[in-house]
Chain A
Amino acid sequence: MFEGPIQDLIDELSRLPGIGPKSAQRLAFHLVKVPADEARRLAGAIVAAKEKVRFCRECFAVSEGDLCRVCRDPGRDPSVICVVEESKDQAAVEKAGVVKGRYHVLGGAISPLEGIGPDDLRVQELLDRVARDGVAEVILATNPNLEGNATAMYVAGLLKPLRVRVTRLASGLPVGGDLEYADEVTLGQALEGRREM
């Protein structure tokens, strides 16, 4: 334990995802050494991002405005929704250029070990969109790992009574990995070869 502000900073940093106590300490000691204007720039960027970045009211992707770029685009097919865990996955799928429809960002995956249940994700919002917009196909593009698969299975179960076509990414993606680490070609193939659930 350290005294005062430095410990506060360590505490705050260690609450970030993927940052353990040791990394938090290293970052904190780095930050107090950088020039004052650099520190101010970082603090400013965090505050500005928090104030200006919003979530699309349709698909919950990170967006500058009320609606994200994809949801604003009249050329996109509203009858297809591609479901991803995080905004960064939406970006990865966009790069593959296969999905002509829109997206839905769940905000994570079900993981009892991390205390994340269905209510912590935007599942109900997805069901509402599907019912409201007459969606024909939902592509479940959650990560090809245990939690992503379980989430896809859970969501597929809820979509079943809505009589919508539900598909899942084809296998071939590195198992256990994240979508964002798959290369565009592989991800594109997994989307093209998606199968009925």
Chain B
Amino acid sequence: MAARVTWVEARDFRNHPGTRLDLGEGLTAVVGPNGEGKTNLLEAIFYLCALESPRVASDEPLVRRGAAAAYLRGELEASGATALVEVEIRPSGANRVQVNRSPVRRRRDVRRIVRAVFAGPDDLEIVAGEPGARRRFLDEAVRILWPAREGVITAYDRALRQRNRLLKDWDGWGTPRGLEAWDGELAAHGAALTAARSEAAGRIAIPAARAFEALSGGPSEPLTLTVEYRPSVSGDSLEAAFLARLDERRGDELVRRTTLVGPHRDDLALAVAGLSARGFASHGEASGAALCLRLGLASAVREELGEPPPILLDDPFSGLDPARRRRVAESLGSWGQLVIAVPDEAQVPEGAEVVRVRGGAVVGG
């Protein structure tokens, strides 16, 4: 069995006034020129599962111009059970979410049903961008693998902001009062977040490397991708190590008035053929590595839950030559549900169900 979205309806969502899409159990290719609304459909599928966009932080751009709200409805299927999810997205104010016609108290309970993985051109930033993009990817992986550990991410973030404010507002005499108390909170939540990120990176590393090997031509033409978590704090007893590091950096922290130790300074080291991907990978290698990180995450989710999550690939082939395209399509041939958005018919993989999108509507299969 595979977790999947069986159908989705998007009303006043981006450029879709009202679109219904029925999805098969295997590969679906959504075909349309750029700007016609194919990525928006993938975004709608992801939103239905995750209750957030994979592309934008605010919901405002999701509501079609002139509409009061956007609506998404659809059916999720996982572990043999189905759930009808309905979302009203309002440009400002809280969204309304219902599952099987009952309001939802905790978003997390919806997100854990089907853990879709979205990969798109923006992922290049994970490989080529600042460490912050890689930390966001790691946190996303933690949330999707273990929804209950989301609280660790928010708790650390708040502890960090509290401690930074204390350092910033300090009058400069002695030491900031209560700093040790915030050290304790920062270390407790920071150690938990470090452990979670480390575990997530460990789960992703091997399947991502395997996907990259397949993409770059298999063992005859070996190009390896290595994924390695570089935590700000490491040690056998993380919390104790964290407190010791804080103690070492105290002087610097008081001078610079900000927290210098902790997961907000982590990085994820990515190397292609042993060289840092950020500086040395070609554009094609970098987009390939980004795609493989997402595929690695999807494999980790399959490992964790025992069934493959839906994978939503937005324009995965444009950076790849035809041979590589074929290899990606082949390597995903036996995956569960897979929805691919491509700009032209030539990129549609063999055996795909085809959906054509024009001007915010499905114009035929």
Whether A110 sits at the interface, judged by CB under 8 Å, is: yes
- Count residues on chain B whose CB falls below 8 Å from chain A CBs: 18
* Residues in A neighbouring B184, C-beta threshold 8 A: 149-150, 153
Whether B162 pairs with A151 at a CB distance below 8 angstroms is no
Distance of A180 Cα from B177 Cα, bound (Å): 28
Among A117, A153, A157, the one with the most B-chain Cβ atoms within 10 Å of its Cβ is: A153
* Residues in A neighbouring B158, C-beta threshold 8 A: 146
Evaluate whether A146 and B178 lie within 8 angstroms (CB atoms) in the complex, with A153-B184, A175-B151 already known.
no
Distance of A150 Cα from B155 Cα, bound (Å): 12
Whether A112 pairs with B180 at a CB distance below 8 angstroms is no
Taken residue by residue from 166 to 209, chain B's Cβ proximity to chain A (1 for < 8 Å, 0 otherwise) reads as: 10010000000110111011000100000000000000000000
* Residues in B neighbouring A154, C-beta threshold 8 A: 178, 180-181
Q: Shortest Cβ distance from A147 into chain B, in angstroms?
A: 7
Closest B residue to A152 by CB, please name it.
Answer: B181
Whether B181 pairs with A146 at a CB distance below 8 angstroms is no
Within 8 A of B (CB), among A87-127: 110-113, 115, 117-119
Whether B249 sits at the interface, judged by CB under 8 Å, is: no
Whether B159 pairs with A146 at a CB distance below 8 angstroms is yes
Is chain B's interface secondary structure helix, strand, loop, or mixed overall? Answer: helix
Distance of A188 Cα from B130 Cα, bound (Å): 48
Q: Shortest Cβ distance from A87 into chain B, in angstroms?
A: 23
* Residues in B neighbouring A157, C-beta threshold 8 A: 180-181
Distance of A117 Cα from B168 Cα, bound (Å): 13
Among B155, B178, B180, the one with the most A-chain Cβ atoms within 10 Å of its Cβ is: B178
Distance of A119 Cα from B159 Cα, bound (Å): 20
* Residues in A neighbouring B151, C-beta threshold 8 A: 175-176
Closest B residue to A153 by CB, please name it.
Answer: B181
A sample of 16 cross-chain residue pairs with beta-carbon separation below 8 angstroms, ordered by A number, consists of A112-B163, A112-B165, A113-B161, A113-B165, A117-B177, A118-B177, A118-B178, A119-B177, A146-B189, A147-B162, A149-B185, A150-B178, A153-B180, A153-B184, A154-B178, A175-B151
